[in-house]
Amino acid sequence: MDIKAKIEEIVTKIKNDKDFSSKFMSDPASAIESVIGIDLPNDQVNALIEGVKGKITLDKAGDTLSSIKKLF
């Protein structure tokens, strides 16, 4: 499984699907397993959750930086 690709897929789904976003916020492990279709051990699911949260944070920071650049 390509972890990076799965993280991208999950982040895209979070951004585009409000129901999935709510599910991820309330039960991230279940939300991730529903996308990947595999019941993973907790340590692997937790690593994916942290990867997704990190990617979302980076994307938000990038969006903010782009907005600031447009001011100048």
What is the domain extent for residue 64? 3-71
Per-residue burial over 12-37, b = 16 or more CB atoms within 10 Å of its CB, e = otherwise? ebbeeeeebeebbeeebeebbeebbe
* Rg, C-alpha atoms of the chain: 14
Domains in the chain, number: 1
Average pLDDT over residues 53-63: 75
Of 59 and 15, the structure prediction assigns the larger pLDDT to 15
Q: What is the pLDDT of residue 56?
A: 84
> Does residue 69 have a pLDDT over 60?
no
| The predicted structure's pLDDT at residue 47 | 87
Question: CB within 8 A of 55, min separation 6: which ones?
Answer: 7, 8, 11
Quote the mean pLDDT of the chain: 82
Cβ neighbours of 52 (radius 10 Å): 23
